[in-house]
Chains A and B, each alone.
Chain A
Amino acid sequence: MRWLLNSRTWSPSSSQFSYCLSLLPTPQQDEIIRFVKFEDQKRYILSRLMQQMLIHVVFNIPYKEIVISRTKEGKPYVEPCYLNASAPNVNFSVSHHGDYVALASETLCLVGLDIMGDEGNDEPEEYIKNFRSYFTVLEWDNINSAGQDGRQLLDQFHRYWCMKESYIKAVGIGIGFELRRAEFFFKDGNIWGDSPCLRLDGIERTDWHFYLFHLRDNHWVCVSKGPPGDAIESFKKTLHTINQLWKGKQI
């Protein structure tokens, strides 16, 4: 599944919003109302509702009975008791930024998703410099090859950041990963390409696939797909099938 919603165009009335909130378990309602900005509340509620809808659509479980738990790293996962032989590893990744909330799911391979966009930086060059240590030399050179054009610099930075996030979200790490370990490059040298490749700890990983998309208003999305065996332990335990023949398989 690949779902994308524009949260900005959703203008619920107070009763509609309350109704949507009431569809979620109380702890999740508390998580949503802690946000002081209504736009954040909207994004979060849409993200939660999309996750519920995924489980409902895939497994036909009534909404009120759906349970979505999180690993200690914060990765949401499908309860193993829902999984079956035809959908052994249903897993999903959600992201929201700016106007968009998105969800990607797969039934067998791991999937990760991240959206990046502008945060109102007036000085892109100065802003990006703060993140130098999170990129390899190759990546940093690629980002800065955009030159003095602030828009292109930010786009490159957002692209690289959502590539990295899509990987770590797929394996279930959350935060606490040395981002330079995952180096992204383009085989044909085109830094504006849509199919980056991954080198993890210096080794090229042909069993991982990444897809970059551009959305309106300077948003970038990256979707990652990879082998279930790469999931971290706490997430791997929730999957049914780990030992799959994967080597270089196109998905």
Chain B
Amino acid sequence: MASTSVISATVPQLASPPNNALAANVTGRYNGLKCCQLPQRINLRSSTKNCPSRAVRIICQSTIQQVQDIIATQLSVDPSTVQPETKFSELGADSLDTVEIVMSLEEKFGVSIGEQDAENISSVKQVADLIEKQRSI
């Protein structure tokens, strides 16, 4: 069998960047501290379009927001980057992340999402809809 060699290396020291090469959208401090500040964006319209009455609209909004927060926490991303239409693949989630997200959501909402449903989840809104469906049963 052909052998596969693994090359292990530390990242080489970079040359000093030219003064005008700084990326415009990176702010804040580094070395373990928060690196960016993004404005809060909550898209109410897309999370409520399927809910008829005002009371139900509030419940719908709350579920998707909680789902967004849990996903953002699990993936350690800024919550404002997790929108209903966002796909898990866009957030860098792999199979393990997806399974752990589903587990967290099942625990939070007290529902059980079937294995087949879990394996077909690809977007934030899809999982929120699944939870709403389970809760209404």
Q: Are both chains from one complex?
A: yes
Identify the A interface with B (CB < 8 A). 2-7, 9-22, 29-31, 33-41, 44, 46, 70, 73-74, 114, 116, 130-131, 133-134, 161, 164-165, 168, 174-179, 195, 209, 211, 213, 221, 223, 250-251
Using Cβ atoms and an 8 Å threshold, which residues of chain B touch A114?
94
Assuming the A-B contacts A4-B9, A175-B95, are A21 and B26 also in contact, with contact meaning beta carbons closer than 8 angstroms in the complex?
yes
Which residues between 1 and 25 of chain B lie within 8 Å of chain A, taking CB atoms? 1-2, 4-11, 14, 16-17, 21-23, 25
Residue of A nearest to B87 (CB): A74
Interface residues contributed by chain B, number (CB under 8 Å): 49
Q: A4-B6, A70-B89 are in contact. List 20 more A-B contacts (CB 8 A).
A: A3-B9, A10-B11, A13-B30, A15-B22, A17-B30, A18-B26, A19-B14, A21-B26, A22-B22, A22-B23, A37-B32, A44-B92, A130-B103, A133-B115, A164-B95, A175-B98, A176-B122, A178-B119, A179-B119, A251-B2
Residue B31, interface by CB 8 Å:
yes
Residue B59, interface by CB 8 Å:
no
What are 5 A-B interface contacts by the 8 Å CB criterion?
A6-B8, A9-B10, A20-B14, A39-B32, A178-B116
Shortest beta-carbon contacts, A-B, top 4: A74-B89, A19-B17, A34-B81, A10-B11
Distance in angstroms between the alpha carbons of A5 and B120 in the assembled complex: 32
Distance in angstroms between the alpha carbons of A249 and B23 in the assembled complex: 47
* Contact pattern, B 74-103, Cβ under 8 Å of A = 1, otherwise 0: 001110010000011110111110110001
Identify the B interface with A (CB < 8 A). 1-2, 4-11, 14, 16-17, 21-23, 25-26, 29-36, 38, 76-78, 81, 87-90, 92-96, 98-99, 103, 115-116, 119-122
Assuming the A-B contacts A11-B31, A178-B119, are A33 and B14 also in contact, with contact meaning beta carbons closer than 8 angstroms in the complex?
no
Using Cβ atoms and an 8 Å threshold, which residues of chain A touch B30?
12-14, 17, 38
Distance in angstroms between the alpha carbons of A5 and B77 in the assembled complex: 23
Query: A4 touching B25 by the CB < 8 A rule?
Result: no
Residue of A nearest to B118 (CB): A133
Distance in angstroms between the alpha carbons of A13 and B14 in the assembled complex: 10
Distance in angstroms between the alpha carbons of A41 and B32 in the assembled complex: 10
Assuming the A-B contacts A16-B14, A16-B17, are A165 and B9 also in contact, with contact meaning beta carbons closer than 8 angstroms in the complex?
no
Using Cβ atoms and an 8 Å threshold, which residues of chain B touch A21?
23, 26
Query: B121 touching A175 by the CB < 8 A rule?
Result: yes
Using Cβ atoms and an 8 Å threshold, which residues of chain A touch B121?
175-176
Using Cβ atoms and an 8 Å threshold, which residues of chain A touch B95?
161, 164-165, 168, 175, 177, 179
